[in-house]
């Protein structure tokens, strides 16, 4: 949900003590308390095709929409489909494949899809509204990170670069397959591990890239951060693609708009990777140092695609530093 944060400032702020997260807090989903021990987590995400296989696109869209509920520590239970479809140009059977892909992921998540809405649209679009629930005391947000906390990332970066390479036919569908597997992997077990091991702040890494979403944690928590770029997990081939100028526009925008103090020895390929706009990326978690071993062990046991400490939270408010082998650990 957070992707539209800048535009959503036009949504009037509503003074209601039951609003636990909304557009103003730059969190991943809106959270509303409906009882002392229950809050609803509500999010919506949709986008144009990023892969050639219809079912894979549906599965990615579903995993991506669910992710904002997991990033808040919530358990998704209801979903609705959002569809824009060029009915004169593309067969409805193909839309059926998109929905089947999404339904498979929703089943895996234990989340019911109860309906949806479609419009005729010259460009196909697909996504979902997802409703989840969370105990108000167990909410994971961007706020709460403290100096000294370590930063852990649960999926490698590079899906935006690979999707652009696929669109430009620089890579094949077979070469895209590892990125599709990552994008359809649920953040459910990563979120469970986060909740069990004292995580102080969490978000999923999507359109604003690692540095953009880290920027939200830094801003909301009133802290700074250091990233060791040599520890950032990367999809094989992504760095090389940036040197061939295969870079999504959103990634360039992120790099230009997020204030980062780059160390001179961080290459432009590495900077683009840190800014790469992800779809259905992993969770970025802040965890106290004395809890990190337990968190990493839980992530390894859950076989999350990555389970790597990539940096730490610092006491310099608003300052993000990215360097190489900075001896954080
Ligand atoms: Co979102
Ligand atoms: Co998000």
Q: Going from the N-terminus, what domains does the chain have, and what CATH number goes with each?
A: 11-138 (3.30.1330.10), 150-323 (3.90.650.10)
Ligand nearest to the CA of 61: 1
Would you give per-residue pLDDT tens digits along the chain (329 residues)?
A: 545 555 666 666 668 999 999 888 788 899 999 999 999 999 999 999 999 999 999 999 999 999 999 999 999 999 999 999 999 999 999 999 999 999 999 999 999 999 999 999 999 999 999 999 999 999 999 999 999 999 999 999 999 999 999 999 999 999 999 999 999 999 999 999 999 999 999 999 999 999 999 999 999 999 999 999 999 999 999 999 999 999 999 999 999 999 999 999 999 999 999 999 999 999 999 999 999 999 999 999 999 999 999 999 999 999 999 999 866 65
Neighbours of ion ligand 2 (CB under 5 A): 28, 68, 204, 206
The conformation of residue 234, written as its DSSP 8-state character, comes to: B
CA 37 to the chain's CA centroid? 27
76 CA distance to ligand 2 middle (Å): 14
Q: In whole angstroms, what is the distance from residue 4 CA to residue 27 CA?
A: 11
How far is CA 144 from each of CA 40, 149, 227, 285, 313, rounded to the nearest angstrom?
20, 10, 18, 11, 11
204 CA distance to ligand 2 middle (Å): 5
The conformation of residue 277, written as its DSSP 8-state character, comes to: -
174 CA distance to ligand 1 middle (Å): 27
Ligand nearest to the CA of 28: 2
């Amino acid at each position: 949900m957070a992707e539209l944060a800048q535009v959503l400032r036009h949504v009037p702020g509503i003074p209601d003590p039951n609003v636990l997260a909304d557009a103003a807090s730059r969190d991943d989903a809106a959270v509303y308390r409906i009882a002392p021990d229950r809050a609803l987590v509500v999010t919506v995400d949709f986008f144009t095709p990023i892969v050639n296989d219809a079912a894979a696109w549906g599965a990615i869209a579903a995993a991506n929409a669910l992710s904002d509920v997991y990033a808040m520590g919530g358990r998704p239970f209801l979903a609705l489909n959002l569809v824009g479809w060029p009915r004169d140009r593309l067969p409805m059977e193909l839309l059926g494949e998109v929905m089947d892909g999404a339904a498979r992921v929703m089943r895996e998540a234990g989340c019911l899809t109860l309906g949806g809405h479609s419009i005729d649209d010259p460009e196909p679009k697909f996504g979902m509204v997802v409703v989840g629930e969370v105990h108000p005391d167990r909410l994971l947000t961007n706020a709460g990170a403290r100096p000294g906390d370590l930063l852990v990332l649960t999926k490698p970066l590079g899906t935006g670069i690979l999707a652009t390479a696929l669109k430009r036919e620089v890579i094949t569908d077979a070469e895209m397959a590892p990125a599709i597997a990552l994008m359809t992997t649920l953040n459910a077990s990563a979120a469970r591990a986060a909740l069990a091991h004292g995580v102080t702040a969490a978000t999923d890494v999507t359109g604003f890239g690692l540095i953009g979403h880290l920027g939200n944690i830094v801003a909301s928590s009133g802290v700074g951060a250091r990233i060791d770029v040599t520890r950032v997990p990367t999809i094989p081939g992504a760095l090389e693609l940036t040197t061939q100028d295969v870079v999504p526009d959103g990634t360039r925008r992120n790099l230009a708009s997020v204030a980062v103090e780059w160390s001179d020895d961080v290459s432009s390929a590495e900077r683009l990777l840190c800014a790469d706009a992800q779809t259905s990326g992993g969770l970025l978690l802040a965890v106290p140092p004395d809890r990190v071993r337990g968190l990493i062990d839980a992530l390894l046991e859950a076989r999350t695609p990555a389970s790597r400490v990539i940096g730490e939270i610092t006491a310099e408010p608003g300052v993000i530093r990215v360097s190489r082998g900075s001896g954080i650990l």
